[in-house]
Every structure is written in structure tokens, then in C-alpha cells.
Structure 1
């Protein structure tokens, strides 16, 4: 009986030892799993993603700047305010006379006649010279008929146009001076307050200093700081902004230094 009990006790001791050993082994395995190993384990790089593509540049549609239409009016028709008259381009017909001539209500030496549109513009310009600069302008000569040009022409082609070739015959031109008469129809007019104001401002009212000092080889005429030709505000502004000073150069016409 005592051997039976002893055997049972011994069996219990052995079973306990086995259980303790198993537990210790489990603890060692758990500790080993938590400790770093001698050889570091490389962490795999994340899969590289495709670089973001830049957004394409958004190009604004081109802005079309309207160009000046040089063909908008005729340069050949004597009724056109863009008519170009010079020693190579006579009036057609030679004895042309405008149908809309009116008396220009400004100070004058001789009664001035001009075409209605040109007259209205010159009245506005004379008034601006007075209001803006305190100047008083006057007409020395405006429309001249073919017959009058026959009487005036004295043979000097640099000073006076031949009949049928004169801008005065178009009804679009005025020789302007000061009411004082100082330097009227003389090159010294360019240095007067009136001459300077007209040179700098006539374009605003549709007028062009037709025979500049440096363009005799183009226009065929000596410098006339008093001779202003109406071409309309649209054209005068375009010429002013682009730096053209003669109709010949602006319209790409041949220079006209002499008659053919």
C-alpha cells in the first residue's frame, strides 16, 4: 500500500517537473521572439509610385489686334478724304471741284471755303487752340479752284503746285497762321507758339502737317509749317501712333520729288 502511494507521489512529482519545464521553455521562446536578432532585417521599400505628371500649360488663345485697314477709303477718288495728290498723282478730273464746299467761320485773310467735314474739324481745332493755349489762329488760304491755281502758279515747282495737282483744290487744305500775321506763310512760323501748337496737336483733329522739313524728297515741296491737310481723325491718329509723317510713305507710294 505504501509503495502504491509512493509511486503515485513520484508520478505527481515527475508530472509537475515536466509541466514546469514546458512552461520555462515557452517563456524562453516568447523572450526570443521579442529580442532583436543579430542580423537586421531590411524593411522593404514601398512600391514607388509613378511621379505626378505636370499639368500641361494652358495657353490662352491669341488675341487678334485689329490692324489698320489702309484700303478702307480710296486714295484715288477726289471725293475721298484720304486722296493722295502730288506731282505724280494729279486730280482726276484736273478741274475737279468739291460739291460740298462751305464757308469756314474762322478768322481769315480771304474768305475760306472748305468741304463741310474739314470745315467742322478746323473750327473745333481753332477753338481748342484758344481754350487750351490762349492762341488765336486764322486762315491765310483754303480752297483754290483750278482757275485760281492757274493764276497763282509762277513756275517754281518746289513752292507752288501746278493746276490740277494742288491739295488746295481738294477743299481739304488750309494754310494757317496767327491772327497777328507774324510769320504768316513763312518758315519762321514753325517757331511761333501757334506753329508749335499746331505741329503737336493738329493730328487730334484729323489734320496733317503735309510738307515736313525733312521730307522734301518725298513730297516734292519745301517745308511749309503752315500747310495742313484734313485726312480724318482715324488716319491722322494712326499716322501719329506709327510715326509716319507723309501720306506717300504711309500708303507705300513712290516719292514724288518732281513732275514726270
Structure 2
């Protein structure tokens, strides 16, 4: 998912020297850490992306993200004209929707977080986080211990195959995500565009400590759709399941996941789930667990 404003400039520094596009990228907030030197790619992007990324790199289908309708809002209920009437004592609450309570434990590896399944509580923070012993050019370099160990194993296997990987975004807190989302609302001029690329606070997988964004070690196509065509993008797509990871936002499944395709965003689910999905050809967690799609809030 989209990185914090403070990281966005680092990402731009990593990619802009090698990326080209239809116009200059908007200025990102200052104060970012420095990253690796980019090689070749397309217009810069940040979770990631800047608004100069071609529409085909940001949204599916290819229309501009800002052309998407705003997420539905609840209509205010007018004040009652008389005293409120209590519900009958015999009234029973409506049964929960199928799957409403399944996979909701934020500390469980099988938790599903999307636009209709917020974390509970919204400001949830993992009890334990650690920094994996891999290249982490940005300040968001923490993961849950189980995810961190899997990242170390995956990166070591990639290196053995001659592919260099870097982790550019791991855990982000509720307050971090507040800043991230507010930044993209400003860039897109409202929630409609921001909601295609950035999760609202309390709805982000990064807040679980189980998700991270991967990049190629030389910075090529960092957080841009062309990452899928790099050696790093191809290697992780082919091998991530062997280490318990899934590509969380695959191309063409935005109406289920709620987000534009991100070939760099991986989620730790454990090998049982990742290998089962790979064997069945299932692309999303929602489909695997039989949960409703989450195209909007």
C-alpha cells in the first residue's frame, strides 16, 4: 500500500532518475530517508505512487483514478419529531452477515483486512515487532517476528538465485496511516482517488505487521507497475508462496480487493494458506476464505 509522505520523497529519489512520464511528478513532503539508486523504469510511483503515474499504472480499468466515483456515504438521519420509541423487549438482533466474524483477530496470521473489514480496535498495534536482517532503505522496516523470519528466508533464496531484493515499507501504525492517507487525499483532491491507492487508518494491512512492499535492490521500478517485469518482480511472484507470502493486490482483482494492482505488495499468511492458494490458482484472500468482495468502504 501507499507509503508515508516522509517515505514518498525517498521513493522518488530512488526512481525519478530512471523514470520518465507525461509530466513532472508533484513535489512530495520533505524529510525522507535516502534510498538506493534507480536504474530503469517508468514514471515514479509511491503506495506508493505520485499522481504523475500513467492512469494505466494506477487504476483498473484504465480510466483515471480521479474519475472513479466517491465511496458511498451514509445519508444523515433527520431528527425524530417525537420521543424515541424503545424496541420491543422480544426483538432479536439481526444475525451477522456470513463471514462477518471470521478472520477478524488482528493478531492472527489469517486476519483479513480490507475496506469492509477494519481492524478491531482501529488503532491496533502488534505486541511484538522486529527488523528483519535484509536491505531496508526506508524507516518503515519492522514486521511481526514470523513475517520477518519469512522475509529473511525469501530474500536469502532470491540472493542465491542472483536476484537482489529490498524491503521499502513494512509496519505502519494507525497514526502513520493517518498521515499517509491524508497526504494522498491532498494529492488526488479528495477521497475518491486516494481510496484507490491508500487505505484509510484502521483498514491497512501494513498496520498488522504482516505486509511489506518489496523492491529490486538497484531501485528499478520501485513501487511502480513495471516492477512486475523486473527480475525481482518476476522472482517474488513465482516464489513468494514457498515462504508463506501472497501477492495481495493482483492485477484485475480490484473489484474484490478494493485496490489497484500492486505487484510489490506482499502479505504474510503462512505456508499452509499461501501454498493452498497457489495450488488452487486462487488470487485473493477474500476468495480463498469465502468472504465478500470489498470494492469500497
Give the alignment's TM-score, normalised by structure 1: 0.70
- Give the aligned partner of residue 203 of structure 1: 241
- Superposition RMSD on alpha carbons, in Å? 1.1
Shift, 1:104, TM fit: 1.5
Structure scoring higher RCO (CA < 8 A, sep ≥ 6) equals 2
Give ranges in structure 2 of 5+ residues lacking alignment.
1-98, 186-193
- Residue in 1 aligned with 2:85? none
Q: Which residue of 2 aligns with 1:213?
A: 251
In the other structure, the counterpart of 1:91 is: 119
In the other structure, the counterpart of 1:139 is 167
Given the alignment, which residue of 146, 149, 154 partners 1:125? 154
Structure 1 equivalent of residue 133 of structure 2 = 105
The CA deviation at 1:203 is 0.2
Distance in 2 of aligned mates of 1:178 and 1:136: 6
Number of residue pairs aligned between Structure 1 and Structure 2: 186
1:244 to 282, 290, 295: 282
The DSSP-based 3-state class of the residue aligned with 1:168 is helix
Structure 1 residue ranges (4+ consecutive) displaced by more than 4 angstroms after TM superposition:
none
Q: Which has the larger radius of gyration?
A: 1
Listed one character per residue, the Cα deviations across residues 186-236 of structure 1 (whole Å, up to 9, x for unaligned) are: 000000011000001100000000000010110000010000000000110
Q: Name the residue aligned to 1:42.
A: none
1:125-161 Cα shifts (integer Å, max 9, x gaps): 0000011x20110011000000000011123101000
SS of alignment partner, residue 103 of structure 1: coil
Report matched runs for 1:1-260 at 5 Å.
75-111=103-139, 112-131=141-160, 133-153=161-181, 154-155=184-185, 156-259=194-297
Partners of 2:231 and 2:216 in 1: CA distance: 9
Gaps in structure 1 of 5+ consecutive residues:
1-70
Compute the TM-score of the two structures, normalised by the length of structure 2: 0.62
Per-residue CA deviations over 1:83-140 (Å, capped at 9, x if unaligned) read 0000000000000000110111110122410000000000000000011x20110011
